[in-house]
Amino acid sequence: MKRSTHFRPAARASLGLAAALLLAGCVTRLPPGEATIFDGTYSGIAEPTDPNLPDCGNAVRVDGFVVKNGDVEYGTIRGPISSDASFRADNRGVELAGRFFQGGFEGQLLFRPICARVMRLTRRP
């Protein structure tokens, strides 16, 4: 039986995230004077990268994404923001990778093995 070399969008997203995580290496934390620039509570949405995947469902509301002293806490995911404003962490088959910008965060939330969501959040005042 011939194997298909065509990857579904979620598989391509998963491979891209895996490559980014491999290249990221060690995390250089935000310098002490900048550690609080992204502090706050964020909310927004997480949309499936491929809405046709049966296990991914529809867009979901995201709340409870908290940054304090340059550290992210979201559910079971925790970790520091890097000096380049990027973030990556994983826990129990869930991976989160993205980048902070003034007033928000955008990244990808990957539930292994098949569901990937694009996460777009804004910091609440």
Tokens linked to 13: 């997203």
Tokens linked to 8: 């579904």
Tokens linked to 122: 């804004």
CA distances from 27 to 30, 46, 49, 76, 81 (A): 9, 25, 27, 19, 8
How many residues are recorded in the chain?
Answer: 125
Q: Which domains occur in the chain, in start order? A: 36-123 (2.40.128)
Tell me the pLDDT tens digit for each residue of 43-66.
Answer: 999 999 887 777 788 889 999 999
Say what the pTM is. 0.74
| Residue 75: CB atoms within 10 Å | 13
Tell me the pLDDT tens digit for each residue of 78-120.
Answer: 999 999 999 999 998 889 999 999 999 999 998 877 789 999 9
